[in-house]
Amino acid sequence: MADPAITRLFEAPRVVRVVVLHRRAETFRWMGLVEVTVITVLLLLFLPLLAAGLLVAPLAAAVYIGLGAAKVVAVIAGIAGVFGSLEIPHRALQRDAFRKFHRELEVRVYDSARDVVGTWRTRVTHEEVGRRVLAQVLREARDRRLVLVELVDAPLSCAEVWYGGRPLLCEPGLPATSTTRPSVEADGTVVTLSASGVEVARPLRSTGRVLAALLLLLMPVIAPALWVLRRPVRPALRRLWCDLRGVRRTLVFRASEGAVEVAEEANTPIETRRVEADELLGITWSEALTWGRGCRRVPASLRIIGQEHTIELPADRVGPRGRSVRNLLLAGAIHGDAAASGETHCPYCGTRHVMVAGQGCPSCGGWPEVLAS
């Protein structure tokens, strides 16, 4: 369901550019006071006993076996040195015990004078909510032909620039498949080009037969944990069964005018995820923040963003050429010469024109590529 506040934000006058900031915000963790108090009391109660035990036991053993006074002193000095070398990670305790991090989404719209004319912010409590908000913002930028800059915090940097009005909000000057294909196939990935689209097949690493057998035996214990974490159990069983039998698994990306599909296959399909063309908004290879507790910044991942569904794959599954895989999928999902068409408002002056790679705005001379720097 669309948020009316976001729609009203885009209706502000003279909007020429949109910025989405994924912020890593923090709040004070009151439970940390209770935890530190309990730990301090326990240390005061048991630390003297522990220290006495660690000192008396070696000392008694040294005396029992007949060591001289000098060696007994050396033993005590060695034990004291071990305790003295221990460092209490006070900075880590201060960071983790009294602070908790969460993810915030902030949307800003700018006019041609580079002034903020509207701001919308929300705290993301669930992954589904965050993905739905981002999809709505991308849809608004696409329909209104606005350039959208996606920023990621911790540290602050540009993750992606989306060009509203262009097919799948892709940048002007998308690399040709003839130049992208060799880099993707360098690590054993197979790229198949056809009139209907693009297929990229990447072999996956096996778990190993011994570990697969052990995990299958433990599956009655693991399955409830997967269910709590909202991870599908059947695909996990199929993967382990394939690895146990030595069947090679392959991750296949298929992009055509009809949809973008990610399928894990062996002799039969293991798991298939699909975003239909009518809901597909864009494809990006960029860094992001995690949705869960801690809100950490993670390396670049492949995100296939739809209005209702988003497929996200980490770098270890996509391979070392993630940006090239993204470009191939875009080329397959965009039909004909559509990548060269589509007018977009200049993010500096608002002039609507067809953006061309390496060329500035015909009115103000502004270069959209500078936004990504």
In a domain, 4, yes or no: yes
Residues 217 and 364 in one domain: no
Residues 46 and 131 in one domain: no
In a domain, 84, yes or no: yes
CB 147 within 8 A of CB 163: yes
Go through 238-262 and write b for each residue having 16 or more CB atoms within 10 A of its CB, e for each that does not: bbbebbbeeeebebbbbbbebbbbb
In a domain, 197, yes or no: no
- The whole-number pLDDT of residue 231 equals 72
Instruction: Give percent above pLDDT 70 in the chain.
Output: 83
Greatest extent of the chain over all pairs of C-alpha atoms, in Å: 94
DSSP class of residue 143 equals H
Residue 303 — pLDDT band, cuts 50, 70, 90? very high
In a domain, 6, yes or no: yes
Residues 8 and 110 in one domain: yes
Residues 156 and 133 in one domain: yes
> Chain centroid to CA 351: how far?
34
Give the end of a domain, one of 54, 78, 97.
97
Residues 80-113 have pLDDT tens digits of 665 555 555 555 555 667 788 889 999 999 999 9
Residues 22 and 69 in one domain: no
Give the end of a domain, one of 73, 97, 121.
97
In a domain, 373, yes or no: yes
Residues 72 and 106 in one domain: no
Q: Is the pLDDT of residue 368 over 80?
A: no
Q: What is the mean pLDDT of the chain?
A: 84
- The whole-number pLDDT of residue 178 equals 81
Residues with Cβ within 8 Å of residue 90, at least 6 apart in sequence: none
In a domain, 198, yes or no: no
Residues with Cβ within 8 Å of residue 44, at least 6 apart in sequence: none
Residues 36 and 152 in one domain: no
Residue 52 has φ and ψ, to the nearest 5°, of -60, -40
Residues 160 and 66 in one domain: no
> Chain centroid to CA 2: how far?
24
The whole-model pTM stands at 0.81
Residues 55 and 110 in one domain: no
In a domain, 333, yes or no: no
Instruction: Give percent above pLDDT 90 in the chain.
Output: 42
Residues 140 and 226 in one domain: no
Residues 59 and 158 in one domain: no
Three-class SS state of 303? strand
Give the domain range for residue 1: 1-27+101-165+342-373
Terminal Cα distance for the chain, rounded: 33
Residues 289-301 have pLDDT tens digits of 988 777 888 889 9
- The whole-number pLDDT of residue 77 equals 63
- The whole-number pLDDT of residue 25 equals 86
Question: How many CB atoms neighbour CB 158 within 10 A?
Answer: 15
Amino acid letter, residue 99: R
Residues 6 and 121 in one domain: yes
Residues with Cβ within 8 Å of residue 270, at least 6 apart in sequence: 235, 238, 239, 242, 249, 263, 264
- The whole-number pLDDT of residue 286 equals 94
Q: Is the pLDDT of residue 135 over 70?
A: yes
- The whole-number pLDDT of residue 58 equals 63
Give the end of a domain, one of 74, 97, 120.
97
CA distances (Å), 125 to each of 103, 117, 128, 261, in order? 8, 26, 9, 28
Residues in a beta bridge with 287? none
- For the packed helices 177-184 and 322-333, what is the interaxial angle rounded to 10 degrees? 140
In a domain, 145, yes or no: yes
Please give the tally of structural domains in the chain. Answer: 3
